């Protein structure tokens, strides 16, 4: 068990380094740096001036060296510009370089300067992650019980009418990506001209013009503003998890020990709740954990659609504005989330499944 965990951890670290290097390489390609130079320096810089700016600001030299600096395992760059002011990675222009630390990368907690937020990356990113955390919490609260319930009800009696209805519903939700369900939900429930809102407003059942709000903000979390974003993300996941739960449940329900329990005279309810459920929920656990990377996708789409200023919105803004450090920060978080959930799902599967744990 221990060797297994250590090996998995080692592989995870290796993956993290490779992935962050790839992102670093792609975000620090010469054209991106030239664009950065023109937006930070001046638009009318000559090509030579741009090249000089790139070198002066520590973007020259080999990619590996710069990656090491960003990571914090290679000493940060420093030089003196033409006005005689010392500049460097680890200190603000004009301060004494002697006082600055030698290494300053993400390992030291210095995630760089965001050109979009005009401030350090880490606190800004942390705040946005918090906002996304709240959104995800509600998504989980809605998604997991609903999908497990649908899956168990459908898988309990395979081929029954309940099974057919619920399975069709699951297939329909997996066929509806977030940008489709979001658009349809807004049109149905949050538009003053179509769907339910004009009807309800005419009958005097709601005060405003719309039932739910088509935009959300982390500062004002209300039922009316949060329902649509949460529902949009949850819907896509519900179908998938429900189908996996159903498959696992139907398999368990045909197992020998269930038949034995039935023949002993245990009631159907008892069989499902006491005997089947525990074994049927092992597979969905893995699926729910592996669903996190997908939720990340959903979060980006939904936050863009509902203009909710969280992690996904930050990623889009960083990519759109060529904010290299912010984009790198976002990718570190994303890669970390994916790899950690993979690890938890692997270890959890072994831990939950006595057949593997004991052998």
Q: Round to whole Å and give the CA distance between 227 and 339.
A: 29
> What Å distances lie between residue 349 and 71, 245, 287, 353, CA to CA?
32, 15, 10, 6
Segment interacting with other proteins, rule: CB under 8 A, options 180-188, 220-228, 259-267, 278-286: 180-188
Hey, which residues between 155 and 174 contact other proteins (CB under 8 A)? 171-172, 174
Nearest to 211, CA basis, from 226, 229, 230, 198: 198
- Indicate the burial class of 267 (C-beta count within 10 angstroms; 0-12, 13-18, 19 or more): exposed
Among 18, 73, 85, 107, binds other proteins (CB under 8 A): 18
Report the nearest approach of other proteins to the CB of residue 177 (Å): 4
Under rule CB under 8 A, residue 120 binds other proteins? no
Nearest to 238, CA basis, from 191, 174, 302, 331: 174
Hey, which residues between 202 and 231 contact other proteins (CB under 8 A)? 214
Is the CB of 123 or the CB of 192 nearer to other proteins? 192
Under rule CB under 8 A, residue 106 binds other proteins? no
Among 293, 347, 349, 351, binds other proteins (CB under 8 A): 293
Under rule CB under 8 A, residue 331 binds other proteins? yes
112: left (phi over 0), alpha (psi -120 to 50) or beta: left
Is the CB of 76 or the CB of 214 nearer to other proteins? 214
Among 9, 26, 107, 141, binds other proteins (CB under 8 A): 26
Among 121, 139, 140, 190, binds other proteins (CB under 8 A): 190
Give Cα 195 distance to the centre of its chain: 31
Q: Round to whole Å and give the CA distance between 53 and 68.
A: 21
Count of residues of this chain found to bind other proteins when the rule CB under 8 A is applied: 50
Report the nearest approach of other proteins to the CB of residue 103 (Å): 27
Is the CB of 103 or the CB of 349 nearer to other proteins? 349
Report the nearest approach of other proteins to the CB of residue 322 (Å): 8
Under rule CB under 8 A, residue 113 binds other proteins? no
Q: How many other β-carbons are positioned within 10 Å of the β-carbon of residue 251?
A: 15
Under rule CB under 8 A, residue 177 binds other proteins? yes
Report the nearest approach of other proteins to the CB of residue 297 (Å): 6
Among 104, 242, 317, 339, binds other proteins (CB under 8 A): 339
Q: Specify the residue for token string 């449940």.
A: 249
Under rule CB under 8 A, residue 30 binds other proteins? yes
Under rule CB under 8 A, residue 186 binds other proteins? yes
Report the nearest approach of other proteins to the CB of residue 145 (Å): 24
Give Cα 231 distance to the centre of its chain: 16
Q: Which residues bind other proteins (CB under 8 A)?
A: 11, 15, 18-19, 22-23, 26-27, 29-32, 35, 171-172, 174-177, 179-180, 183-184, 186-187, 190-195, 214, 293, 296-297, 300-301, 304-305, 315-316, 319, 327, 330-331, 334-335, 338-339, 342
């Amino acid at each position: 068990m221990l060797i297994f965990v250590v090996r998995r951890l080692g592989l995870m670290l290796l993956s993290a380094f490779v992935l962050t290097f790839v992102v670093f390489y792609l975000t620090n390609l010469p054209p991106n740096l030239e664009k950065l130079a023109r937006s930070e320096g001046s638009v009318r810089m000559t090509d030579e001036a741009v090249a000089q700016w790139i070198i002066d600001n520590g973007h020259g030299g080999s990619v590996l060296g710069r990656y090491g600096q960003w990571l914090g395992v290679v000493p940060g760059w420093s030089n003196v510009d033409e006005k005689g002011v010392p500049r460097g990675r680890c200190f603000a222009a004009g301060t004494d370089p002697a006082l600055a630390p030698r290494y300053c990368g993400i390992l030291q907690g210095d995630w760089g300067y965001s050109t979009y937020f005009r401030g350090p990356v880490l606190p800004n990113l942390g705040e946005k992650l918090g906002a996304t955390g709240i959104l995800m919490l509600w998504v989980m609260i809605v998604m997991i019980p609903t999908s497990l319930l649908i899956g168990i009800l459908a898988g309990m009696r395979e081929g029954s009418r309940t099974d057919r209805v619920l399975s069709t519903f699951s297939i329909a939700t997996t066929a509806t990506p977030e940008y489709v369900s979001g658009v349809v939900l807004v049109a149905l429930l949050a538009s003053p001209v179509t769907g339910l809102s004009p009807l309800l407003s005419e009958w005097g059942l709601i005060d405003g013009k719309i039932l739910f709000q088509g935009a959300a903000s982390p500062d004002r979390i209300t039922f009316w503003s949060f329902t649509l974003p949460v529902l949009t993300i949850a819907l896509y996941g519900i179908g998938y998890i429900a189908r996996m739960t159903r498959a696992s449940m139907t398999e368990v329900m045909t197992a020998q020990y269930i038949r034995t329990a039935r023949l002993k005279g245990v009631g159907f309810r008892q069989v499902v709740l006491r005997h089947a459920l525990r074994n049927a929920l092992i597979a969905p656990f893995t699926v729910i954990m592996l669903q996190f990377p997908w939720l990340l996708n959903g979060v980006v789409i939904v936050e863009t659609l509902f203009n909710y200023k969280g992690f996904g919105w930050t990623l889009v803004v960083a990519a759109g504005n060529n904010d290299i450090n912010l984009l790198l920060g976002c990718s570190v978080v994303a890669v970390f989330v994916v790899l950690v959930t993979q690890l938890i799902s692997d270890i959890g599967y072994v831990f939950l499944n006595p057949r593997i744990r004991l052998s």
